[in-house]
Amino acid sequence: MSKSPTKLKAEILRLTREFSAAAHTANRPGSDPQHAPFVPGQTTVPYAGRVFSEDEVAAAVSATLDFWLTLGPEGDAFENELAALLGVKKSILVNSGSSANLVAIAALTSPKLGERQLHPGDEVITSAAGFPTTVAPILQQGCVPVFIDNDPSTLNGRADQLEAAFVPGKTKAVMMAHTLGNPFDLAATLEFCRKHDLWLIEDNCDALGCRYDGQFTGTFGDLSTQSFYPPHHLTMGEGGAINVVRDMKLKMLAESFRDWGRDCWCDSGKDDTCHKRFGWQLGDLPAGYDHKYIYSHLGYNLKPLDPQAAIGRQQLKKLTAFIHARMDNWNYLRAALAGLEGFIQFQLPTHAIAWSPQGFAWDNSGHQTECSWFGFTMLVKKSAPFTRGEFVKCLAAAKIGSRMLFGGNLVRQPAFVSLRRQQPNAFRVTSDLAGADRIMNEAVFIGTYPGLTRAMLDYMADTIIKFVSSK
Ligand SMILES: Cc1ncc(COP(=O)(O)O)c(C=O)c1O
């Protein structure tokens, strides 16, 4: 007699776990030294990577066997769990952090927002140094990014430049990233947005689990975004989310832009949630036209697959441990590299003015940040007897992964240089962007991700200390 699907599935999942336990040891923190010994100088120390166990692999296989495929039960559960964890009204899954940024800004262009709708030519303030797809969606929606500078000490956009960037009647929103797990000055930014009635989109893609005055980043603005690409705080391969912080009207708009621009809000596979599927008359369509095929926006289709959400749900269970590991790894590296301040400027959390082995000293703003660090960033000082180029080559030779702060000063990227040449008013710059240039020229970051072991951290610190001492 053939086995039942339930029995077969259980057997497949048992074997899947067995397989993953044998095949994926290198993807577990403190991985079994018998299977994956760390050999300094030979084993690569990545700047980031996927950390997972049999749980994620079994969840992916289980959801694939169920074969719902399109965003469905796992997606719903993930969205609810993420929203509950952050304490926001709704989280909406998409297929990447870049898509999340695109949907977030697109949602604000909806005519349903009345006077607060973003129109082509409206200005959106952002910061110059960072990842390109924090900014590209602003342009893709016909709006004008206005760049403020970044502070090389925190890497974040300088809130003290917001007022100078503001133009009455033109400026409609602020959209900035919490850079590499360091919250930007939310108190000053929120005050500015409230004063001028501006939207705030927090790009929280690199900062899941960070806190500002004890509250999670991504929960202060109107909308915020996440990326679930492998180097990020949790992964589902590709993936991202838009968090709707308070206003459920924005949920309808963001979902519409994610899902083809449709007016209907039925979940996939469901009909007639509004109980008047054939009772609408919208646009110039005939009365009773099927609501499923009524489009109130020029939308996209940016949904991920259900098995991705199944992986993400397992990762969510580990998020608290991941966040603490990132903090511990950063603190460990910072303590190990104390004494190199003459050559290297170490990143500080926003509102911190100094680091000591006892902790941070804070400015007198009354605000504090808790960083779930995406990486450990160092700026090679101009006075150092070595260049950033020599430093990164030393790291590469030692097989220590490093990255620059993504696109550096974005306005110096070929895409922005040619855009300005073709359309001089496509974006605006409000200062000399000297901080963004310094970050572009001097910054490098190494890993803090939960897959790093103590042996790796010691090796990273020793390599840097030896390199600096040799100069
Ligand atoms: C700040 C920031 N925003 C957006 C993104 C885009 O995320 P994704 O790679 O998932 O598209 C990234 C990517 O790392 C990022 O660093």
Q: Which residue is catalytic, options 232, 233, 297, 351?
A: 232
1-10, 98-107, 268-277 — which one is most confidently predicted on average?
98-107
Q: pLDDT band for position 35 (50/70/90)?
A: low
* Ligand 1 centroid to residue 16 C-alpha, Å: 31
| Ligand 1-lining residues (CB < 6 angstroms) | 96-98, 101, 130-131, 133-134, 177, 203, 205-206, 227, 229, 240, 406
pLDDT of 225 higher than 90: yes
- Asked if the model's pLDDT at residue 192 lies above 90, the reply is yes
Mutate to test the pocket of ligand 1, among 229, 233, 439, 449 (most ligand atoms within 8 A of CB): 229
pLDDT of residue 30: 59
- Residue 102 is predicted with a pLDDT of 99
Residues 6+ apart with CB under 8 A from 300: 99, 102, 103, 106, 257, 258, 260, 261
Three-state DSSP at 378 gives strand
| Vertex 116: Cα angle to 112 and 119 (nearest 5) | 85
pLDDT grade, residue 267 (50/70/90)?
A: confident
Distance 240 CA to ligand 1 centre (A): 9
pLDDT cut 70: percent of the chain above it: 98
pLDDT digits (tens, 9 = 90+) for 64-114: 999 999 999 999 999 999 999 999 999 999 999 999 999 999 999 999 999
> What's the pLDDT at 160?
98
The atom number, within ligand 1, closest to the CA of 231 reads 14
Q: Look at residue 82 in the predicted model and tell me its pLDDT.
A: 98
> Does position 319 have pLDDT exceeding 80, yes or no?
yes
Closest-CA residue to 110 (of 300, 282, 256): 256
Residue 232 confidence class, pLDDT cut points 50, 70, 90: very high
Nearest atom (ligand 1) to Cα of 240: 10
Q: What is the pLDDT of residue 10?
A: 98
**pLDDT confidence of residue 429:** 98
Least trusted range by pLDDT, from 32-36, 55-59, 78-82, 458-462: 32-36
For ligand 1, the distance from its centroid to the CA atom of residue 294, given in whole angstroms, is 32
Distance 204 CA to ligand 1 centre (A): 9
The minimum-distance atom of ligand 1 relative to the CA of 228 is 10
Q: How far is the CA of 133 from the centre of ligand 1 (A)?
A: 7
**Residue-level pLDDT at 27:** 78
Atom of ligand 1 nearest to the CA of 133: 4
pLDDT above 60 for 221 = yes
Q: Measure the CA–CA gap between 280 and 262, rounded to whole angstroms.
A: 13
Ligand 1 mutation target, pool 93, 134, 205, 223, most atoms within 8 A of CB: 205
Q: Tell me the Ramachandran region of residue 129: left when phi exceeds 0, alpha when psi lies from -120 to 50, beta otherwise.
A: beta
Distinct helix (H) and strand (E) counts, the chain: 13, 16
Predicted pLDDT at 1:
73
* Reported pTM: 0.97
- In residues, how long is the chain? 471
| CA atoms 234, 237, 238, 239: torsion sign | negative
Average pLDDT over residues 416-435: 98
Mark whether 232 is an active-site residue. yes
pLDDT reported for residue 450: 96
pLDDT value of position 25:
83
